[in-house]
């Protein structure tokens, strides 16, 4: 893994999003969908889903929103949803991945294409930027919240649970897994008493790019518009 800390990107986005309640719910809806797709929509049988539902309730996410995300994952309600990933380039050549779940591909691709155009980007073809990312399970433990946590013990427990790597940053311990091992690692470490500030299956840029403040502002506006689309599950970029 790169020495780049995903935590800093997460925290930067969270700080900008905290004032936007809908953004928080959008992230939770994504996590609910992913957990339900991976392990089923029954919380009693899916530890990862159970944890996300608890997070959603703590954030006062409406029950209807929670159920809608679960229905989308399970195909309840009679609508057939397809998962489609769109790839393109944003400001300064930053690669952008957009994961969607849609019951109308024509509507979704048109909306995604327009968002890229609004901010000087362009939608690309399948495979045009995906090679710049790795799909990983990601878990983060806030070091300030758990100052007594022993780094060596965490490393031992995480690797024994099936994690690929543990990185120690100034503010956080970051644990990386293969996507297929994520649920087991998360469940095993949770049962062992570890508490995560963030946990998800995500796309991580192999070589994050540094861009100017001006370009960052344009890129953030593109990401914001994409995330406001009801069909969008998650947006990933190669910007540092």
Per-residue pLDDT reduced to its tens digit, 124-149: 999 999 999 999 999 999 999 899 99
According to DSSP, residue 18 is labeled: T
Q: What's this model's pTM, rounded to 2 decimal places?
A: 0.76
Query: How high is the pLDDT of residue 8?
Result: 58
* 8 A C-beta contact, residue 57 and residue 25: no
The predicted structure's pLDDT at residue 121: 94
Phi-psi region of 212 (alpha: psi -120 to 50; beta: other; left: phi over 0): beta
Q: 213, 169, 224: which is closest to 239 by C-alpha? A: 213
Which region holds residue 92: left if phi is over 0, alpha if psi is between -120 and 50, else beta?
A: left
Residue with tokens 């995903």: 6
pLDDT of residue 5: 61
Angle at 17 between CA 213 and CA 172, to 5 degrees: 85
Q: Which domains does the chain have, with CATH numbers?
A: 1-240 (3.30.70.980)
Question: Checking DSSP bridges between strand 82-89 and strand 95-102, what pairing results, if any?
Answer: antiparallel
In this prediction, residue 199 carries a pLDDT of: 85
Q: Which residues of the chain have pLDDT under 70?
A: 1-22, 77-78
Q: What is the pLDDT of residue 1?
A: 44
């Amino acid at each position: 893994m790169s020495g780049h800390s995903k935590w800093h990107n997460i925290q930067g986005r969270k700080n900008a999003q905290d004032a936007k309640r809908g953004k928080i719910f959008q992230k939770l809806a994504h996590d609910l969908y992913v957990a339900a797709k991976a392990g089923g929509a029954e919380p009693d049988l899916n530890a990862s889903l159970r944890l996300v539902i608890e997070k959603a309730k703590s954030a006062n996410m409406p029950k209807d929103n929670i159920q809608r995300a679960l229905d989308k994952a399970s195909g309840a309600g009679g609508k057939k949803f397809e998962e489609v990933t769109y790839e393109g380039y944003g400001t300064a050549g930053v690669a952008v991945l957009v994961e969607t779940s849609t019951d109308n591909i024509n509507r979704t691709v048109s909306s995604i294409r327009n968002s890229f155009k609004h901010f000087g980007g362009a939608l690309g073809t399948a495979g045009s930027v995906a090679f710049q990312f790795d799909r990983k399970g990601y878990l983060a433990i806030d070091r300030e919240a758990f100052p007594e946590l022993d780094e060596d013990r965490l490393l031992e427990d995480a690797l024994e649970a099936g994690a690929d790597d543990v990185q120690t940053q100034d503010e956080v311990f970051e644990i990386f897994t293969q996507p297929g091992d994520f649920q087991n690692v998360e469940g095993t470490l949770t049962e062992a008493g570890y508490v995560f500030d963030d946990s998800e299956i995500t796309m991580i840029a192999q070589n994050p790019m540094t861009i100017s403040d001006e370009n960052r502002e344009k890129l953030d506006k593109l990401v914001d518009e994409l995330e406001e689309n009801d069909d969008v599950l998650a947006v990933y970029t190669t910007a540092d």
